[in-house]
Chain A
Amino acid sequence: MTTTARLEMTEVVKTFGPVRALDSVSLEVGAREVHGLLGGNGAGKTTLMNVLFGLYKADSGTVRIDGREVTITSPRDAIELGVGMVHQTFLQVDTYTVVENVVLGTPLEGGSHRAGLAAARAKIAEISERFGLDVDPDAVVEELPVGVRQRVEIIKALYRGAKVLILDEPTTNLTPQEVDALFASLRTMVAEGMSVILITHKIRETLAVCDKMTVMRDGARVQTLDRADTDAEHLAAIMVGESHGSYETPTLTEAVALGTEAPGAVVGEEHVGGFEPGVSVVGATVRNDHGVELVSGFDLEVGKGEIVGFAGVAGNGQVELAEALAGVRPLERGSITVHGSALSGKPTAQWLDGGVAYVPEDRHRDGILPTSGITENLILGSHRSARVRRRGLIDWRAARQRAAEAIDKFSIRADSPATRAGDLSGGNIQRVILARAFAHRPRLLILHNPTRGLDIGSTRFVYEQIREATAAGCSVVVISEDLDEVIAIADRVIALYQGTQAGEWASSQVDPYEIGRRMTGLGTASVGGAA
């Protein structure tokens, strides 16, 4: 290349204690370019961008913007240099309006606070118009749906005059329609001379919108490629790497998870309709923490060995449904029967005894005891059962023994059963939670976003475990905001919209765009491909 790159990062190193998160990584991004930053979880993509945005301080390495070497020690420096970042978890003040969130940290123009906000409102309207980012400037952000909050994040960056915009896994919670709209906005931005860096682990997306892509693995850059010079298979091979011997063609399930294969390709016909009755939910009505009825009159049958997948945009009653199915959240009305035993109305401990296992969405917040060892984490939930007690007291020696076995069987990377759960990586935490769930010999397994943020290896492991459970006759409910995942592993897909079923498809008949319409409340009249 003869022209200077918009952004050049050279040999960036970042360590967290003993962990080398970035091992001398370099990256060049040109103007008018959407650059994909590709890799599994723990590859260092987000860490590298947090360094660029001044959230992490690099141990060594240089950053150049438009050919000039710069020092970025805080987000303020980054913003002043024209770098903006949209994080995976939105960095917004929930109680502020859109305008207030956008102007935060910037000096207001005009004589008074009020006049300054008015000027900002006008500027936001102009940005919305230009890039197709529709928002109501006076809405309080905590009341906005995820897709709109993401637009607020993008507007925040553009308001500050970003010429390099970083987006961290921006499509995770979006419908296919919203993804298309987002990508259109991104193309408009680069057409106007901006640079966009898209952090993602989905190969199809990268190919859809990026001009160039850099693949990272284990904290290092593997390769940078032009869109024209690559295809899905090739990228997948680079991403997975050759570290475990030769690269094998992935299974269809994995291929969908990787995003190299279009969804809908996975499923065979053999299962559909052929399940014994297992779990029966009748007229379930559930309220959220604020007393709002989020799930109303919900009916559901899940056969023994069947996997039912729920697709939907976050905030449509997923958490409430999952917790109700798991016996954590009381039913307002209705009943749930699991393999013959009526559980509704009973305390959570009895659901666990009845073989209901729950893998919650938020692993850190809901899944583990962070400062306790793996042993303690594994007996949580069965600590009152006869299996772990001797003469009424907890038998810690036996519990340690079983923990060591679980560490082996579930390939948990930990020094010993005493390792604190909070010190484990996300993938290993999920393995601990799965190990605990399977220790209950589940008859009903509920998984909420089971692979979010996991690398390919761990994702594959989770899917294998689910298959093993169904082989033993377990009924499985997978609730995921990742449409591809639901389509890839479920025998039956149900679209969830505002706590009700907005459509149902046998896995052989799914159409992602149709599901996307249904889960955003569109096209409910049509019969669609209901099974």
Chain B
Amino acid sequence: MSTIEQNPPSPGGPPSAPPPAAKGRGAGAAAGIVWTLAPYVVSVLLAFLVGGALIQAMGYPAVDALEAVLTSSFDSRFGLIETLHKWVPIVLCAYAFAIPLATGKFNIGAEGQMLLGATGGAAIGITFSDLPAIVLLPATLVAGVLAGAVWAGIAALLLVRFRVNEVLSTVLLNFVSFKLIDWVATKVWPDAGAGHPATTPVGEGARLPLIGEAPGLHSGVLLVLALAIFIAVGMRFTPTGFEMRAVGDNPRASLINGVRTSRLAGAGLVLGGGAAGLAGAIDVAGVHGRMLEGMQSNFLILGIIVGLMARGSMLALPFVAFGIAVLEFGAGTMQLVAAVPVEMVLVIEALILLFLLLSDLVRNRLRGAA
């Protein structure tokens, strides 16, 4: 008995040596970056290879088409501005997906939330069109955020109170929103001259100021850039950000350790909805000047793709979103230059995602072997 207590035996084996982390830290970090970036590079290359082969097989010039996809964003000032304008809703819809995902919830409702945000923004922008920009612009954006948050809040409420699967509720709310904005655009504030269901324009005070000479970059881009930094820091360093990641990792363990999980999951959805709502309001205030049907484009899908590709890293997300924005802008040019249907780019993006997911397996095998 005595020996055991005097000389504490190391249960289960000798005490582990201090980890060799200290000496190889620099090399370890570099290796970490390579491990992180390599799958992206390989996945993009493979997807372009397969996509190119598909284009060639369909009888189009693959090289011209892919070149157009990749480079047209950088060929002109206009291209870059348009790419950044696309980047804004993509990155915000990606947050709409990724923030709830951090708590383990899937928000497939970004397009509905974005449309509601656009409607909320347009409602303020039209109703109070005479107000000065200093009041009207913030009001428009805030209205968009709130409208998106409320729309996602319905799904959050159904989830927290009634345990309704959030995938289904957010998706179904998209379709409800399509009908709702159709009503707004054709009955409430219809613009008969638009030739397409759309509201009347918002007041001048609701428009985002442009940067540089026409065609200028709208200042929403800077706003989103600031927001991106804020979100990345918040997720890493605030207790709430930590709780979100903890809940996403293991909701039961989080609950037992004092995290209010269902409230947090609901909050994640609401925050995500707010981000998507902001996307709608910014597109109203910065791009279209009104709410119009179809303005959600395919930002839902792109947001999900970006959110999944970023793999939970709020730091990587804006960069991935920029890459996708480049492809999306390039898609139009590709159709002009090489006559390849734009859907080709969606197929390529889906391929990048699939290859990226597959790369996890490859990487695990490689690490297992090492």
On whether A and B touch (CB less than 8 Å), the answer reads yes
Binding site for B on A (CB under 8 A): 17-18, 42, 244, 248-249, 251, 323, 326, 328, 347-349, 351-352, 358, 360, 365-372, 376, 379-381, 383-384, 389, 392-394, 396, 407-408, 411-416, 418, 427-428, 436, 455-458, 460-461
8 Å CB contact of B249 from A370, A381, A455: A370
B258's partner among A347, A372, A455 (CB-CB below 8 A) is A347
CA distance A418 to B20 in the complex (A): 12
Contacts of B238 in A (CB 8 A): 392-394
Docked Cα-Cα span, A455 to B11, in Å, equals: 9
Contact B256 A347 (CB under 8 A): no
6 nearest A-B residue pairs (beta carbon): A457-B11, A381-B257, A349-B258, A416-B19, A369-B249, A393-B237
- Known interface pairs A248-B1, A352-B258, A381-B257; 9 further A-B residue pairs with C-beta atoms within 8 A, sorted by A's residue number: A348-B256, A376-B242, A396-B236, A414-B16, A415-B20, A427-B11, A455-B12, A457-B13, A461-B11
Residue of A nearest to B250 (CB): A369
B252 at interface by CB-CB < 8 Å: yes
Which residues on A sit within 8 Å (CB–CB) of B258? 347-349, 351-352, 381, 384
Question: Nearest chain B CB to A477's CB is how many angstroms away?
Answer: 15
Chain B residues, Cβ within 8 Å of A436:
257
**Binary A-proximity of B251-263 (CB < 8 A = 1, otherwise 0):** 0111111111000
A389 vs B315: C-alpha distance when bound (angstroms) = 22
Q: Is B212 an interface residue (CB 8 A)?
A: no
A-B pairs with beta carbons under 8 A, tally: 116
CB distance from B4 to the nearest CB of A (A): 6
Is residue B368 contacting chain A, with contact meaning CB distance below 8 A?
Answer: yes
Q: How far is the CA of A413 from the CA of B1 in the complex (A)?
A: 25
A394 near B12 with CB under 8 A, answer: no
Tell me, yes or no, whether B195 is within 8 Å of chain A by CB.
no
6 A-B pairs with C-beta separation under 8 A: A248-B1, A349-B260, A365-B250, A366-B256, A369-B250, A384-B239
CA distance A412 to B18 in the complex (A): 11
Specify which chain A residues have a CB less than 8 angstroms from the CB of B254 in the assembled complex.
369, 380
With A248-B4, A415-B19 known as contacts, the answer to whether A366 contacts B253 (CB < 8 A) is: yes
A17, A358, A369: residue with the most chain B Cβ atoms closer than 10 Å: A369
Distance in Å: Cβ of B186 to nearest Cβ of chain A: 48
A376 B12 Cβ-Cβ under 8 A: no
In the bound complex, do residue B1 and residue A358 qualify as a contact, i.e. CB atoms below 8 Å apart?
no
- A68 → chain B, closest Cβ, in Å? 35
Contact partner, B246, options A248, A352, A380, Cβ 8 Å: A380
Specify which chain A residues have a CB less than 8 angstroms from the CB of B1 in the assembled complex. Answer: 248-249, 251
Q: Identify the closest chain B residue to A394 (Cβ).
A: B237
How far is it, in angstroms, between the C-alpha of A448 and the C-alpha of B258 when the chains are bound? 18
Chain B interface, number of residues (Cβ within 8 angstroms): 33
Contacts of A393 in B (CB 8 A): 237-238
Most chain-B Cβ atoms within 10 A of its Cβ — which of A368, A379, A393, A458? A393
| CB of B190 to closest CB in A, whole Å | 49
Are B15 and A411 closer than 8 Å at their CB atoms? yes
B76 an interface residue at 8 Å Cβ cutoff?
no
- Shortest distance in angstroms between A221's beta carbon and chain B's nearest beta carbon? 19
Nearest residue, chain B, Cβ from A391: B237
B368 touches A17 (CB 8 A): yes
With contacts A348-B258, A372-B249, A413-B16 taken as known, whether A457 is within 8 angstroms of B239 at the C-beta atoms is no
- Bitwise interface map of B from 206 to 230 toward A, beta carbon under 8 Å scored 1, else 0: 0000000000000000000000000
A348 partner residues in chain B, CB cutoff 8 A = 255-260
Chain B residues contacting A351 (CB-CB under 8 Å) are 258
Instruction: Find out whether the CB atom of B21 lies under 8 angstroms from the CB atom of A371.
Output: no
Q: In the assembly, what is the distance between CA of A360 and CA of B256, in Å? A: 9
Q: Which of B19, B239, B246, B255 is A372 in contact with, Cβ under 8 Å?
A: B246
Chain B 171-228 interface residues, beta-carbon cutoff 8 Å to A: none
- Residue in A366, A389, A415, A428 whose CB lies within 8 Å of B239: A389
B253 with A383: CB separation less than 8 A: no
CA gap between A18 and B260 in the complex, in Å = 39
> Shortest CB–CB separation between residue B58 and chain A, in angstroms?
41
Contacts of B252 in A (CB 8 A): 365-366
**Cα of A18 to Cα of B369 in the assembled complex, Å:** 8
Measured between alpha carbons, how far is A455 from B255 in the docked complex, in Å?
28
- Interface flag for B283 (CB, 8 Å): no
Q: Which of B3, B12, B242 contacts A457 (CB 8 A)?
A: B12
Give chain B nearest CB distance to A387 CB in angstroms: 12
In the assembled complex, how far is the CB of residue B258 from the closest CB belonging to chain A, in whole angstroms? 4
Within 8 Å CB of B255, what residues of A? Answer: 328, 348
Q: Say whether, besides A251-B1, A328-B256, A348-B255, A244 and B9 are in contact (CB < 8 Å).
A: yes
Please tell me if the beta carbons of B237 and A458 are within 8 angstroms of each other in the complex: no
**B290 at interface, CB cutoff 8 A:** no
The answer to whether B245 has its CB under 8 Å from any CB of chain A is yes
Query: For B21, what are the chain A residues with a Cβ–Cβ distance below 8 Å?
Result: 415-416, 418
